[in-house]
Amino acid sequence: MRNTLLALILAGRAGTAAARGNIEVLARTCNSCHGVGGVSAGATMPSIGGLPRDYLSNIMKQWKYDERSAITMNRIVKGLSNDEIDALAAYFAQQPWVPVPQKANPETLARGKTEVDNNCADCHGASGGDPDVDAPPLNGQWARYMELELQKYQSKEFKMPHRKMRKAAQQAKPADASAAARHFGAQGR
């Protein structure tokens, strides 16, 4: 009786370790674009380590089921099961969020701060580091990437399902949205 129980527990542990190992192998396939630990080194590529778990699994499933536009990610997640998506979301959510503060010219930053204080801070925090539960952190996210995402939110040609974020983006002038992206990109912790 005891031995059977022990065997079951050990089998359970081995199963968990194997699952964890598989997720690490799968997560490594993301590094080539998103960087080690999900800290991106490229301006058009977002950092993903430390994004909230529900945000991650939600948007990956939206891509999988063609509910959200993407240039690249929709193809990548098509091959993943929902369980793999959930496990990847949990894995990257456990990594620390590492802001990469970027320089920008002072006029742009001032313009961006005004836009953020007036129209974005309620949901993202003044520095982007204090987001609502359903929003990602933006402090030290890559500004060029955010600018491109904001253009998608502003255009009617792209499917970006979050209604309130879409409304906020469409209320901003394109130049103000870009400046807001520069402001968030310049922030550290």
Instruction: Summarize as ranges the residues that interact with ligand HEC (CB under 6 A).
Output: 29-30, 32-34, 45-46, 48, 51, 55-56, 59, 70-73, 76, 88, 115, 119-120, 122-124, 134-136, 138, 141, 146, 149-150, 162, 164-165, 168-169, 172, 177, 180
Q: Give whichever of 28 and 189 is closer to ligand HEC, judged by the CB atom.
A: 28
Asked whether the CA dihedral 94, 39, 189, 129 is positive or negative, the reply is: negative
Shortest Å distance, C-beta 76 to ligand HEC: 5
Shortest Cβ 109–ligand HEC spacing (Å): 13
| Strand blocks (E) in 65-141 | none
What residues contact residue 180 under an 8 Å CB cut-off, 6+ apart?
112, 115, 116, 119, 120, 150, 172
- Residue 13 CB, nearest distance to ligand HEC (Å)? 26
Name the residue nearer to ligand HEC (CB basis): 5 or 83.
Answer: 83
How far apart CA 171 and CA 156 sit, in angstroms, is: 13
What is the C-alpha separation between 139 and 102, in angstroms, rounded?
Answer: 10
